[in-house]
Chain A
């Protein structure tokens, strides 16, 4: 079945870096754009980034632009989120998600979500 499994979360000091991974299975990963979304403690869902199926187009939330980088390796069916210059307010559960439509741009609902990986930024 369709599955997304995030990993790479952990505890990091402010200013530090982490690289999150999202391993996809059960569908044709290379034909779908992919999203990162986070849920901070006591807050609501916040979209972080989206990347086209072929990696040629990327969009970011202003809160992470210039600090986070979304990337993918279609040969490994894996999506990544490189997180640099981490701040206390980046503490959250990070989810990757898949849309309904193949070859689509960002305008599609998030149909499948992973279980998430926790990032805690703390001194």
Chain B
């Protein structure tokens, strides 16, 4: 199984400041034939289902604000919120869809400082 390790577990950031969440996979998520990284990021607010933010490591889903950006390749990935807003308080998960079983990181709780 591909193990997804997120850091930190929680993060407190001031409004307007940058938030950075890291995700490491136990094996490469890069598929050479199509040059894609099989990595997605989700946001889950209390009482709501997860929402897809980015996929293929760096493609932003339609309607997602451009303050959210995904980066990285291979085994190391990052979700950056460039200027934290109050509505960004949530738990964030990375997920690999390279192999079965599909696996998620443990989640990172983002709060306002």
Please give the number of chain B residues whose Cβ is less than 8 angstroms from any Cβ of chain A in the complex. 24
Encode contact with A along B100-113: 1 for CB under 8 Å, 0 otherwise.
Answer: 11111111000000
Asked if B84 CB lies within 8 Å of chain A CBs, one says no
A50-B102 contact given A44-B93, A45-B93, CB 8 Å threshold? yes
Shortest Cβ distance from B51 into A: residue: A113
Q: Is A108's CB within 8 Å of the partner chain B?
A: yes
Q: Taking the complex as formed, is B40 at the interface, i.e. its CB lies under 8 A from any CB of chain A?
A: yes
User: From A65, which residue of chain B is reached at the shortest CB distance?
Assistant: B101
Complex contact B103–A47 (CB within 8 A) = yes
Would A44 and B50 be within 8 Å (CB), given that A61-B101, A111-B61 are in contact?
no
Report if A41 contacts B (CB, 8 A): no
CB <8 Å contact, A110 and B98: no
The answer for the CA separation of A100 and B38 in the assembled complex, in Å, is: 13
Sample 6 A-B pairs with CB under 8 A, ordered by A number: A45-B93, A47-B103, A109-B56, A109-B97, A110-B40, A113-B51
Interface size on A, residues (CB 8 A): 22
Do B97 and A107 touch across chains, with their CB atoms under 8 A apart? yes
Task: For residue A96, give the distance in angstroms from its CB to the closest CB of chain B.
Answer: 10
Structural contact, B40 and A109, CB atoms closer than 8 A: yes
Q: Chain A contacts of B105 at CB under 8 A?
A: 44
Taking a contact as CB atoms under 8 Å apart, the answer to whether B104 and A108 are in contact is no
A115 and B49: CB pair below 8 A? Answer: yes
Measured CA separation A109–B94 after assembly (Å):
11
Q: A109's contact among B55, B101, B106, by CB below 8 Å, is which?
A: B55
CB closest residue in chain B, given A111: B52
Known: A61-B101, A107-B98, A109-B97. A44 touches B51 (CB 8 A): no
Q: Is the CB–CB distance between B104 and A47 below 8 Å?
A: yes
Docked-complex contact B50 and A113, CB < 8 angstroms: yes
- Beta-carbon contact of A45 and B50 below 8 Å: yes
Closest B residue to A115 by CB, please name it: B49
Contact B104 A95 (CB under 8 A): no
Indicate if B95 sits at the interface (CB-CB under 8 A): yes
